[in-house]
Amino acid sequence: MNMEPITANNIEAVWNLYQRTVAECDRLPLEWFRYKVLDDPDYSPETSLVAMESGKPVAFMDAVCRTWEDGPTGWLKAWGTDPAHQGKGIATELLTQAESRFRALGATKVKAGQAKPHYYTPGVDPMLYTPAIGFLLRRGYKQTGQAYNMDVDISGGPFTLPQYRERMEDQGIVVRRAEKAEKDRVTAWAKDVWGYSWQYQAGASIDREPSATFIAEKDGEIVGFASFDAVRPAWFGPTGTLESMRGTGIGSVLFLMCLDDMRARGYSVCHICAVGPLYFYAKIGNAVVSRIFWHMAKEL
């Protein structure tokens, strides 16, 4: 059994393993898996590892060390073991190596799941991945919080009805798609208001073809935004409106414009990621809670 870094040379083989070890709802196209692993700004071949046997991957752990928030912190983004090789301690060895590297980088804590801004899911789903929760609990990890997703059926539509646009026009608010040429302007604004994580995710959304971010402007200044396809295909978020402009309907219009655009791209369901205001999405989009995720952490 050899431990190797996940690289461009073996990424497709690791992706095939990933597809076999996750629930159907968490599977990703190859280009998205490559993006999750190799395009992570903190990707390191020393912490993103794959266990190889007879030239084939049998287990993997995609992990990174981030230093931009609370000092060096290890993050377990995703991991899995081929069913035929479970119970042999391979995942434990991958975790041990990752934790050892985190310590060497000065990390005092390891978190699992929501490795913002570049994560697979906003935590570990205890219903779909009960054994993974048990794996972490047995190794000293504890639940520190939780997040949840909501789903919207977007097979109907359209969603952005004329009265919504009229309400914006009456207030002198312009709502439109963010252009790629203004990526720096939009992301700098997002960072100033909400921080690096949303800056990064908004930038990733604008990079989609076409841009998957919509903005609201008042007197030429950005006052709100909404993005999708930043975390995963058909996942909505992040989104935000300046506090001084809340109550104007900006958040609703931006959300509904995203739903229309997602529907045009062929999506049938919008997955709202790591929801904050449950009532808002339930009221505006008839969204329902679809998944729960645990946040897990361990002191090193």
Q: CA 87 from chain center: how many Å?
A: 29
Comparing C-alpha atoms, which of 208, 216, 224, 217 is closest to residue 262?
Answer: 208
- List every span in the chain annotated with CATH 3.40.630.30: 2-146+294-299, 156-267
Q: CA 131 from chain center: how many Å?
A: 22
pTM of the model: 0.94
pLDDT at 160: 84
CA atoms of 20 and 80, how far apart (whole Å): 9
Note whether 180 and 206 are within 8 A (CB).
yes
CATH class of 2-146+294-299: alpha beta
CA atoms of 45 and 4, how far apart (whole Å): 8
Block residue for tokens 């990752």:
98
pLDDT at 165: 85
CA atoms of 241 and 32, how far apart (whole Å): 28
Report whether the peptide linkage leading into residue 126 is cis, meaning its omega lies within 30 degrees of zero. Answer: no
Note whether 65 and 74 are within 8 A (CB).
yes
pLDDT at 157: 80
Note whether 155 and 268 are within 8 A (CB).
yes
Tens of pLDDT, residues 69-125: 678 999 999 999 999 999 999 999 999 999 999 999 999 999 998 899 999 999 999
Q: Which of 1-5, 19-23, 26-30, 257-261 has the lowest mean pLDDT?
A: 1-5
Domain 156-267: assigned CATH number: 3.40.630.30
pLDDT at 211: 98
Whether the pLDDT of residue 68 is over 80: the answer is no
Note whether 168 and 175 are within 8 A (CB).
yes
pLDDT at 180: 97
pLDDT, averaged across the chain: 96
Q: For residues 174-184, give the mean pLDDT.
A: 97
pLDDT at 114: 83
Note whether 223 and 216 are within 8 A (CB).
yes
Please, which pLDDT band fits residue 228 given cuts at 50, 70 and 90? very high
Note whether 50 and 91 are within 8 A (CB).
no
Helices assigned H by DSSP within 116-212 = 130-138, 162-170, 183-194, 196-206
Tens of pLDDT, residues 134-149: 999 999 999 999 999 9
**Edge-to-edge strand order for the sheet containing 109-112?**
2-5, 49-53, 56-66, 73-81, 109-112, 288-299, 142-153, 269-272, 235-241, 221-228, 213-218, 173-177
CA atoms of 184 and 213, how far apart (whole Å): 13
Q: CA 104 from chain center: how many Å?
A: 27
Q: Give CB contacts under 8 A, 24+ apart, made by 14-21.
A: 14/50, 14/57, 14/60, 16/57, 17/50, 17/57, 17/58, 17/59, 17/60, 17/80, 17/82, 18/60, 18/78, 18/80, 20/80, 20/82, 20/83, 21/80, 21/81, 21/82, 21/83
Tens of pLDDT, residues 204-215: 999 999 999 999
Angle at 121 between CA 15 and CA 9, to 5 degrees: 20
Whether the pLDDT of residue 171 is over 80: the answer is yes
Block residue for tokens 């998944």:
291
Tens of pLDDT, residues 241-300: 999 999 999 999 999 999 999 999 999 999 999 998 999 999 999 999 999 999 999 999
pLDDT at 71: 85
